[in-house]
């Protein structure tokens, strides 16, 4: 009885915030090809950025990189087992001013974040070392290929992180970006694309395009995926995620078939059951459609939220506000991700015909209470005022600053590619 009554308001708060934030982003307003304008920031910036990052990528020759002592066996190393190590010599490959593709809610520095320690932690697995993200190697692996991320706003930040980490080595006239429900970043020189498809629950729901903003009114079409999934065919590398949208209420309103009877006839299901059914719809599509000889399938596990500061011994209600250091307690686990949901995901994937590899980011991200967008975000398209910024209630403890934690997700992902 007690645990749900404690958890429920937290869950509600974060999803309301989540929806408000995403709504502000407006997926449809920028549905045009923005060829990068040769604007003043673009001409001097890439140069200085390039010099900086030259140091970060000491071995730009990929064949050297391969033979440079990085014997890396993802199968043999458990990345989740490790710790964050402070290293002031780290130089992020991009910043939110050098990379023009970062959505506003992740642009923490632009939005006024002045503390910068959160940029200088590197993930150190216990049993191996994690190679740096080498943009040239990434592009070589993607030559002639399509990489498509499908999922929610956290997946979107992983996509933006990936694009930003490679885009600075590509000449202006060799790249283009088109934004929309299906966003496409093209690298002409390599005949490669890095794409994102907005599908926060993978299956359809009535809230995903923000016409309905009350999570209580969310209805999920638990068996509907075919229409959108047509756009995911013929891709070489698919990366899915879905989690946080399933947590909008204590039950999920699930509907089978079409919305033909209006939105009547839904059934209220326990979150884990609904998640399992939704994932099975996705799994059936993958199993029946994906050619494993052409396409590799990945799944990014849940990104933990940090809305309950009591989880790490702080007064509750502060959330991740003002946090500047990761949690150091090994295997720290808070209420920001649900282990039951994780095992649902594992069970569904285990039964699939097509192999799906997990990019398991959950535990490593769980430590990073310091790296969320917090109050360096926007609501309804506007930055928070100084007064709003002083109020922990306004902190976004779901999304992450870019550059930041999603870069490490991609560092792990690149070793798996
Ligand atoms: C970048 O490096 C080149 C050669 O090392 C140097 O000539 C140039 O001044 C540097 N640019 C900046 C902005 O530091
Ligand atoms: C990269 O390294 C390999 C092996 O040392 C060498 O054969 C090749 O010429 C190098 N490529 C470039 C572009 O330097
Ligand atoms: C710290 O970062 C620098 C630059 O990335 C790297 O050369 C150095 O090895 C790192 N130190 C440790 C202890 O990993
Ligand atoms: C470019 O890549 C696509 C697949 O993404 C492939 O169908 C096409 O043949 C490639 N074109 C060239 C010129 O390599
Ligand atoms: C994949 O390739 C293997 C070996 O070339 C072949 O035996 C198998 O039938 C192929 N699978 C599919 C689904 O095309
Ligand atoms: C947040 O940090 C600022 C600056 O260190 C401090 O003035 C303020 O009291 C802190 N607020 C809370 C709620 O901890
Ligand atoms: C991801 O890692 C966590 C913690 O290391 C583990 O409990 C969980 O089972 C893993 N999930 C998957 C899908 O492998
Ligand atoms: C967002 C998007 O690109 N949707 C497309 C998915 O595929 C269907 C059918 O091919 C198109 O009609 C949609 O426009």
Region of residue 144 (phi > 0: left; psi between -120 and 50: alpha; otherwise: beta): left
Say how many Å lie between the CA of residue 353 and the centre of ligand 5. 13
Residue 161 a catalytic site member: no
Residue 152 a catalytic site member: no
Say which residues have a Cβ less than 8 Å from residue 244's Cβ, sequence separation at least 6: 14, 15, 18, 152, 154, 200, 302, 303, 305, 398
Q: Which atom of ligand 7 is nearest to the CA of 343?
A: 9
Pairing of strands 192-198, 182-187: antiparallel
Neighbouring C-alpha atoms within 13 Å toward the C-beta of 373? 30
Q: Residues, the chain, total?
A: 417
Q: One of 96, 370, 396, 407 is an active-site residue; which one?
A: 396
Q: Answer yes or no: are the C-beta atoms of 362 and 301 closer than 8 Å.
A: yes
Say which residues have a Cβ less than 8 Å from residue 273's Cβ, sequence separation at least 6: none
**Residue 51 to residue 65: CA distance in whole angstroms:** 19
Nearest residue to 277 via CA among 250, 256, 248, 297: 256
Burial of 303 (0-12, 13-18, 19+ CB in 10 A): buried
Residue located via tokens 């980011």: 361
Say how many Å lie between the CA of residue 244 and the centre of ligand 1. 44
Q: Answer yes or no: are the C-beta atoms of 157 and 409 closer than 8 Å.
A: no
Say how many Å lie between the CA of residue 347 and the centre of ligand 7. 12
In this prediction, residue 354 carries a pLDDT of 96
Spans of the chain, pLDDT less than 50: 1-17, 19-72
Nearest residue to 245 via CA among 223, 282, 271, 227: 271
Alpha helices in 196-270 (DSSP H): 226-229
Q: One of 153, 183, 276, 373 is an active-site residue; which one?
A: 153
Q: Answer yes or no: are the C-beta atoms of 26 and 382 closer than 8 Å.
A: no
Say how many Å lie between the CA of residue 314 and the centre of ligand 6. 13
Structure tokens at 119: 């940029």
**Residue 8 to residue 3: CA distance in whole angstroms:** 9
Q: Is the CB of 363 under 6 A from ligand 7?
A: yes
Say which residues have a Cβ less than 8 Å from residue 381's Cβ, sequence separation at least 6: 24, 26, 104
Nearest CA to ligand 6 atom 11: 322
Q: Is the CB of 314 under 6 A from ligand 6?
A: no
Alpha helices in 215-299 (DSSP H): 226-229, 271-289
Q: Is the CB of 63 under 6 A from ligand 2?
A: yes
pTM (predicted TM-score) = 0.81
Nearest residue to 245 via CA among 417, 15, 62, 20: 15
Rounded to a whole number of angstroms, the distance between the first and last alpha carbons of the chain is 45
> Measured between alpha carbons, how far is residue 366 from residues 8, 252, 312 in Å?
20, 25, 11
In this prediction, residue 208 carries a pLDDT of 81
Residue 332 a catalytic site member: no
**Residue 2 to residue 329: CA distance in whole angstroms:** 26
In this prediction, residue 383 carries a pLDDT of 87
Beta strands in 191-349 (DSSP E): 192-198, 204-205, 219-221, 237-240, 251-255, 267-270, 296-300
**Residue 120 to residue 335: CA distance in whole angstroms:** 26
**Residue 299 to residue 285: CA distance in whole angstroms:** 14
Say how many Å lie between the CA of residue 390 and the centre of ligand 6. 8
Q: Residue 80 CA to chain centroid, in angstroms? A: 17
Other C-beta atoms closer than 10 Å to the C-beta of 32 total 10
pLDDT in tens, 216-242: 788 889 998 999 999 999 999 999 999
**Residue 7 to residue 342: CA distance in whole angstroms:** 17
SS3 138: helix
Which of 59, 60, 63 for a ligand 2 pocket mutation test, highest count of atoms within 8 Å of Cβ? 63
In this prediction, residue 74 carries a pLDDT of 52
């Amino acid at each position: 009885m007690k645990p749900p009554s404690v958890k429920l308001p937290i869950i509600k708060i974060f999803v309301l915030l989540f929806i408000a934030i995403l709504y502000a982003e407006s997926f449809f307003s920028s549905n045009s090809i923005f060829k990068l304008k040769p604007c003043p920031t673009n001409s001097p910036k890439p140069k200085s950025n390039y010099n900086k990052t030259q140091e970060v990528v000491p071995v730009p020759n990929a064949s050297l990189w391969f033979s440079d002592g990085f014997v890396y066996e993802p199968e043999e190393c458990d990345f989740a087992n490790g710790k964050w190590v402070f290293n002031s010599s780290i130089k992020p490959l991009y910043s939110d001013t050098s990379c023009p593709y970062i959505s506003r809610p992740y642009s923490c520095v632009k939005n006024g974040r002045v503390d910068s320690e959160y940029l200088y932690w590197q993930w150190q697995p216990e049993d191996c070392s994690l190679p740096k993200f080498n943009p040239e190697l990434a592009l070589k692996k993607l030559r002639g290929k399509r990489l498509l991320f499908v999922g929610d706003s956290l997946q979107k930040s992983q996509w933006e992180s990936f694009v930003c980490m490679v885009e600075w080595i590509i000449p202006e006239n060799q790249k283009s970006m088109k934004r929309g429900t299906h966003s496409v970043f093209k690298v002409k020189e390599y005949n490669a694309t890095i794409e994102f498809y907005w599908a926060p629950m993978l299956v359809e729901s009535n809230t995903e395009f923000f016409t309905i903003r009350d999570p209580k009114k969310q209805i999920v079409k638990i068996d509907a995926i075919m229409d959108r999934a047509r756009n995911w065919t013929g891709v070489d590398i698919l990366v899915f995620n879905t989690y946080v949208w399933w947590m909008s209420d204590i039950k999920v309103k699930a509907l089978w078939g079409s919305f033909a009877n209006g939105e009547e006839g839904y059934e209220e299901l326990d979150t884990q059951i609904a998640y399992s059914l939704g994932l099975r719809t996705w799994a059936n599509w993958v199993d029946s459609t994906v050619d494993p000889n052409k396409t590799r399938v990945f799944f990014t596990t849940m990104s933990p939220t940090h809305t309950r500061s009591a989880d790490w011994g702080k007064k509750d209600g502060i959330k991740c506000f003002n946090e500047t250091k990761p949690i150091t307690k090994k295997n720290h686990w808070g209420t920001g991700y649900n282990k039951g949901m994780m095992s649902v995901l594992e069970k569904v994937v285990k039964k699939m015909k097509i192999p799906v590899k997990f990019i398991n980011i959950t535990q490593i991200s769980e430590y990073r209470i310091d790296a969320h967008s917090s109050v360096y975000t926007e609501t309804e398209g506007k930055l928070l005022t100084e007064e709003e910024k002083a109020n922990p209630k306004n902190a976004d403890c779901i999304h992450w600053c870019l550059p930041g934690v999603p870069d490490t997700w991609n560092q792990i992902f690149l070793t798996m590619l």
